[in-house]
Amino acid sequence: MRKHYHIEIVQNDQMIVFCPPEILHNQQIKKMAFGSQSLEVDFFPHPDHNDRIVMSRKIQEAIQFPPYTIPLHVFIENEFLYIGPLVGIFTAGFTSFPQQPIGERTLFFSKLLAVNKTVGALPFVFGEQHIDWHKGTIEGYFFHDDGWKTLEVPFPNVIYDRLPNRKSEENPKLIKVRERLQQEYLIPWYNPGFFNKLDIYERLQQETSITKYLPETHPFTSFSSIETMLSKYGHIFIKPKNGSLGLGVHQVIYDKLSDYYYCRYQDEEGVNRLRKYTSLERLFQSVFANKSLDKMLVQQGIHLLRNEQRSVDFRVHTNKDEFGQWHVTALAAKIAGPGSVTTHVRSGGDIKTMGEIFSKDESNQYTEKLHQASLLLSSALDKNIEGIIGEIGFDLGIDRNGDVWLFEANSKPGRSIFSHPELREFDLLTRKLSIAFAVFLTEQSLLHPEELFT
């Protein structure tokens, strides 16, 4: 575990920083740095305290350090002593309400920022409108002492992408901000971009160690390819390549005995439907009449484990820690709602712990399989996708033979599983690691930039 040091501000104008002797031991340090700001100061060992760095109000104002006494990490490189990391969380959807600055997502961000003391980092939230390019500063939103406050700070050491949807991600103005901060200022930017399901599948196909987890998946091309897959698997799923929250997912089933086709889906009013058709053509004319099939993919149906006649799948969160290592941080079972094509809560699904629906032996066995698959898949995605990934949410299934299948990987996973009382501690762990990863990236950008930017 890396060490944190409390940063203390004293009321004087001296250009002196007092540090624990261990920091100054065998080190030539001439400048204090915070985010993109730095200042030449004198360094002296602290006579009394080994756990704090003390700077004057004058230094604090010059480097634009917020007036907080908090523990932070220390990085030393090229005669600079960096305190931080200063972590910018980039998003959109700001409001003019001081107590709800990010609308309905304000609570999520307040909880995310509240991990600062345990992680030893200083996170803040900002949007493109809060950047002053001329001054090289950002008017950031900080959550401190249970309240929101805006403070002008330097450009951060790293940026965590929390754009809320694909529309904001594709906004040319926001794309330009990201490119400029990455390319001109060399700021590591992590978790950029929502995943495209088909793109993910095709990239993972190149990794032989994880192809066993991939159900057969194709872009929609023709009825004959669907007939082939139906004869092979009995049922298939048709879903949007860029969908989320289970929206637009259709299950198509072929019953050989009756020679009927069935389609299970949720209509535009949110009602779960099951319709019967005499042919695949009629099914498509009825259900997909107003849908762009070129934006859909077709996926092999899996006969999943069931609980009280309802299918079960699993949400697994993985995060990188402050050393850049992957961990499984949360695992929950999701049970499909009555008549629902998916296990999403909005479609009547239930969230359960493994222990609630399986015996102890089954729970241990399935948990181990899901952990192993998730860590292998995380490493494979990390290797095959551009950009820096720090967290992933997987939707996995286990079939009746005990084999694990990947249905989806999400770069910005939803957090509905954490409404379960027994999963709240994992909610905290996922938040802590999503900020702790910034510690690793800051160190890499200072000590080994060639590994991040090549």
What would the DSSP string read from start to end of 362-417?
Answer: HHHHHHHHHHHHHHHHHHHHHHHSSSB--EEEEEEEEBTTS-EEEEEEESS---GG
97-106, 394-403, 409-418: which range is least confident on average?
A: 409-418
State how far Cα 426 lies from the chain centre. Answer: 14
Pairing of strands 80-84, 391-398: unpaired
pLDDT of residue 343: 59
Same domain, 205 and 335: yes
pLDDT of residue 248: 82
Which tokens is 278 given?
């005499």
Same domain, 322 and 234: no
How large is the average pLDDT for residues 144-153?
Answer: 93
Taking 70 as the threshold, does the pLDDT of residue 92 lie above it?
Answer: yes
In a domain, 158, yes or no: yes
In a domain, 446, yes or no: no
Which is higher by pLDDT, 200 or 340? 200
Give yes or no for a contact between 250 and 341, defined as CB atoms under 8 angstroms apart: yes
171-180, 244-253, 416-425: which range is least confident on average?
A: 244-253
Same domain, 279 and 355: no
Confidence of residue 241 (pLDDT cuts 50, 70, 90): confident
In a domain, 22, yes or no: yes
- pLDDT tens readout for residues 427-439: 999 999 999 999 9
Q: Is 74 left (phi over 0), alpha (psi -120 to 50) or beta?
A: beta
pLDDT of residue 345: 63
In a domain, 447, yes or no: no
Taking 60 as the threshold, does the pLDDT of residue 347 lie above it?
Answer: no
Specify the DSSP class assigned to residue 423.
G
CATH code for the domain in which residue 350 is found? 3.30.470.20
- pLDDT tens readout for residues 199-214: 888 899 988 899 999 9
Taking 60 as the threshold, does the pLDDT of residue 398 lie above it?
Answer: yes
- Find where tokens 């999403």 sit: 344
Structural domain of 341: 197-214+304-441
Same domain, 31 and 79: yes
